[in-house]
Chains A and B, each alone.
Chain A
């Protein structure tokens, strides 16, 4: 199994797409920080002063960490859906799934090794996001004013690790969602379309349910996006477009719901892959 995970990572490392997605991640971070800084340096006349201050604070330490994690969560989700779906879907398109399965007969090894390698890539991607975000926040903090590092206590650093963990956990259902759709449709297009489609349609549905009120407003508590938003540290900009802090589920609800989604997606993906014939 370890050899299969290593082999998966070898493929991902050698693939140009992985590096392109990493460049997109870095570019998105730069855009997010510098565009936001642009707004604060010459804010529109009708923007209230408190709003400008809040935006400015999000570009400075310590608030900048929230900006880093929420940005990584948002863009990371989209990029991971693309990477995961194409990695699985293309195995069918290129016929490599046959090659692999005629080497290792245990099918769940194939699925598990892929999932573990995606999680490793997610950890690496998140680490890189934090590093890029930290450098960018250093720049914007210095541009706005001086940095006071007094907040950086041991407990604060511990809190940062906790935020890292929750952000990573919130990426899992989307990794598994893309996995599920790619196995279901046996193609990269199905995985990307299904994963991104679900992501955006769900966000719209959450907004509609929240607006509808009554029992319908309870439904988002059991969907993915509101629960992810409840776990990922939020900044004023990176929060889901239809989810406000007041409507978010509790941390316990969020953790359990996401865990249930993860288990369901894994079980269905494994079952489908095990049961289906691999034809040409």
Chain B
């Protein structure tokens, strides 16, 4: 039975070990209907293993994965009917044409008409090359075919693993727009990507995973604020650095010419000005510098390395 109609994905204490290696460690995720969710992490952080467990390709060591409120271990075939996926390695038969590959997938999926095949080929702009063999496709075309394949059954939930891999900038833009459009159509999207700029543009919420553990998750706009940096200009930057280094609520301090970039929460901005004034250091310019997701991601992942 579907328990919570609004919740598309829920993982609880999801763990996967390969021998002694803990690839995914006690992962708890929730993705709601209509969300475009970004899953970020460095290489080998456990992103693809998590996706594999969501799609029933990899058996969890412990914990559970529920999709559409159904446990994948008990309802996998039923769940897969509602999912479309682009997996890490694009799996198609090289001796079949793009169209025949989709025809094959349509046959094993069931209930897909040839007009739908035509429709998805048009959607990813492969209509003119549909009869070419898959082995003759460029990397970008292969990626497009994979996306067409994922959309073949009109899925409610689309899992995309690095969907813009190998695409040129124009192709990347098209795929980004396609993802945004799918999100607007009400589809739930799980986007696994290392392209932070891409995630920042298309996702509403993200989770950052490192060494199998989710180190943070939340709305993209909140995460970007979370890592706010204060940028100040002072008359004595060297002295100011020495003073600020001794303050424990300052997370980082970097000098860029006559500017100082200070890692600090917004509510402490005024205190900084006061502390410096006490030491006869005068602030000539002060402004909050909002992080990009990339900066936040690097800050988070490096922080953990230093831990």
Contacts and interface: CB of A to CB of B under 8 A. Distances in A.
Contact of A98 (B80, B83, B87): B87
Interface stretch (B3-11, B104-112, B195-203, B239-247): B104-112
B90 A95 contact: yes
Interface string B50-88: 001001111100000000000000001101100101011
A105 B80 contact: yes
B107 A102 contact: no
Interface residues on A, range: 20 to 34
B141 to A, nearest CB: 16
Interface stretch (A7-15, A191-199, A209-217): A7-15
B106 to A, nearest CB: 9
A3 B57 CA distance: 22
Nearest to A275: B59
Given A3-B107, A106-B77, A277-B58, A95 B87 contact: yes
> Which of A4, A97, A101, A105 is packed against the most chain B CB atoms within 10 Å?
A105
Contacts of A11: 93, 96, 104
A6 interface: yes
A94 B100 CA distance: 16
B149 interface: yes
Given A102-B57, A106-B77, A7 B93 contact: no
Interface in B33-53: 48-49, 52
A271 to B, nearest CB: 14
B94 A94 contact: yes
Interface residues of B, number: 33
Interface string A1-28: 0011011001100111000000000000
B95 interface: yes
> Which of A3, A11, A15, A102 is packed against the most chain B CB atoms within 10 Å?
A102
A242 B150 CA distance: 54
Interface string A267-280: 00000000101111
A46 interface: no
Given A14-B96, A97-B91, A277 B107 contact: no
Contacts of B190: none
B92 interface: yes
Nearest to B96: A14
A99 B76 contact: no
Contacts of A7: 104, 107-108
A113 to B, nearest CB: 8
> Which of B57, B79, B89 is packed against the most chain A CB atoms within 10 Å?
B57
B93 A100 contact: no
B21 to A, nearest CB: 12
A16 B133 CA distance: 12
Interface in A215-253: none
Given A95-B87, A99-B91, A102-B87, A10 B52 contact: no
A96 B59 contact: no
A106 B80 CA distance: 10
Contact of B105 (A14, A95, A99): A99
A6 B108 CA distance: 9
Given A11-B96, A99-B105, A104 B77 contact: yes
Contacts of A3: 107-108, 110
Contacts of A4: 107-108
Given A102-B55, A103-B108, A105-B77, A95 B96 contact: no
Contacts of B94: 94
Contacts of B80: 102-105
A134 B205 CA distance: 70
B179 to A, nearest CB: 19
Contacts of B56: 101-102, 105
A277 B104 contact: no
B98 to A, nearest CB: 13
A6 B104 CA distance: 9
B89 A280 contact: yes
B77 A94 contact: no
> Which of A7, A99, A275 is packed against the most chain B CB atoms within 10 Å?
A99
B90 to A, nearest CB: 7
Given A14-B100, A278-B52, A280-B88, A101 B95 contact: no
Contacts of A98: 57, 87, 89, 91
28 contacts: A3-B108, A6-B107, A7-B108, A10-B103, A10-B104, A11-B93, A15-B95, A94-B91, A94-B92, A94-B94, A95-B89, A95-B91, A96-B91, A96-B92, A98-B89, A99-B87, A100-B91, A102-B57, A102-B83, A102-B85, A102-B87, A104-B108, A105-B77, A277-B57, A277-B59, A278-B57, A279-B48, A280-B88
Interface of A: 3-4, 6-7, 10-11, 14-16, 94-106, 275, 277-280
Interchain residue pairs A-B with the least CB separation, the first 4 = A105-B76, A95-B91, A99-B91, A95-B89
